[in-house]
Amino acid sequence: MRITVMGTGYVGLVTGTCLADLGNDVQCFDIDQEKIKRIEHGDIPIYEPGLNALIERNVKTGRLSFSSDMKSSVAYGDIIFIAVGTPSMEDGSADTRQVLQAAKSIGSLMTNFKVIVNKSTVPIGMADIVKETVTSELNLRFKDDLSGRPEFSVISNPEFLKEGSAVDDFMRPDRIVLGIESTESGNKAREMIRKLYAPFNRNHERTFVMNVRSAEFTKYAANAMLATRISFMNELANLAERVGADIDSVRQGIGSDPRIGYSFLYSGTGYGGSCFPKDVQALQYTANSHGLPLRILSAVESVNQRQKHVIAEKITAYFENDLSGLTFAVWGLAFKPNTDDMREAPSRVLIKELLTRGAKVIAHDPVALNAAKDAFKEDLEDQPELLNRLTLSEHAIEILKGADALILLTEWKEYKSPDFGYIKNSLKNAIIFDGRNLYDPEVMREAGFTYEGIGRRSTHDVTGNFSKVISNSSKAVV
């Protein structure tokens, strides 16, 4: 089949490349001509494991191409995916201007039947607005003879890709959600889109067909549920420290219940990235606009913002509220491993706070250094002098030398089994603040470290007063 994908961001590049790899002819469009030129020369704007090789392979076979020519791109595909950005506005609503511009362009240029697929994460009801926009453009073009107006159908096909495993998620989906209207054009679109996704349904049916608004709602509901689990565990983790419990043991205890499961039960420094924060806000905005505020999601967001400060509080408590002149080594900047995405990353909150309190920071991340440089310039735009105390390094081990403590913020594989002897000898103080609970507290203590995790029994309490940890957890002093 011939496919056009509008947008060469995260979703657009993954969608277009994977569909090409399945044997379709795909053209990815972007209005940014320079971006298209860079992609054509192998300069991929995002980091996603396996994506570069997949793009290169399908460009060589001729199944995947790139264009900044809107007219040819609209003409190219029988199915057009809209996969442009929908960032958050100040009021929490989704910015849908790029979606509407894409719809307007399609309506002003299409000459034959098109299936228009909303792949972008859009507010509930957006498919209707896209349909109205395309229809309006067609009516202007064919006002003298509406009988010659080409037909089209707008369907909702939300993405469920996880950064860091997006290629695998696309190629091995656990579900394909399709929102399709029950009309003649909708039925035609249903057959075309089912044919496109047929390779994923050979072993068993993964496709869920529903009405359009249900499909749009499903995307928001899924991310809101996952965000809720994260905030729920983070709030319990903070309580676990106070009562002498270990949140990782609690996680195993409740995760073994099949009604709960283990996924997204890890406590840490809060969620980030491009999806959870904006989707939770957008769903709240929709609910408020209908007079039904979602109190649980309001709490989820509040807990998440609060959680991003927990490690900073532990650090300032340990050093008795004076960080002036101290140097902190930070491992991990991206909001999660296997991505260079710095959007809403907890590292941005922590590092800004350390710098503001007079500390120096030397940070490492395997792939996010360039994105981090831009992110911290943005965060410190009003205090540019603080950037002089921030160093971004390509060498994880070297930044330990002479640092007053090690802070772990992203659970990259290369951080999982380090040489703890070398770490201890390199640091001024054998202190690790583990924002992802990557290390075993007992192993750390036996190795001579002062260790602070999230929701784990520590060698001192949240006020900085040191306590003796008794092996019997029921007698632990916290």
Q: How far is CA 280 from the centre of its chain?
A: 12
pLDDT of 476 over the 80 cut: no
Highest mean pLDDT among 167-176, 453-462, 464-473: 167-176
Average pLDDT over residues 125-134: 97
Reported as a single tens digit per residue, the pLDDT across 222-246 is 999 999 999 999 999 999 999 999 9
pLDDT score at 381: 95
Sheet architecture: strand order including 431-434? 390-393, 360-364, 327-331, 405-408, 431-434, 450-452
Which residues belong to the active site? 275
Confidence of residue 464 (pLDDT cuts 50, 70, 90): very low
Question: 146: how many CB neighbours lie within 10 A of its CB?
Answer: 10
Length of the chain as a residue count: 478
Question: 191: how many CB neighbours lie within 10 A of its CB?
Answer: 10
Q: Which amino acid type is present at position 333?
A: L
Reported as a single tens digit per residue, the pLDDT across 329-378 is 999 999 999 999 999 999 999 999 999 999 999 999 999 999 999 999 99
138 vs 136: CA distance, rounded Å: 5
SS3 20: helix
Residue percentage of the chain with pLDDT more than 70: 96
Give pTM, 2 decimals. Answer: 0.90
Q: Which domains, from first to last, does the chain contain?
A: 2-210 (3.40.50.720), 231-475 (3.40.50.720)
- Whose tokens are 């590092």? That residue is 351
Cα–Cα distances in Å, from 431 out to 235, 276, 319, 426, 444? 24, 32, 11, 11, 9
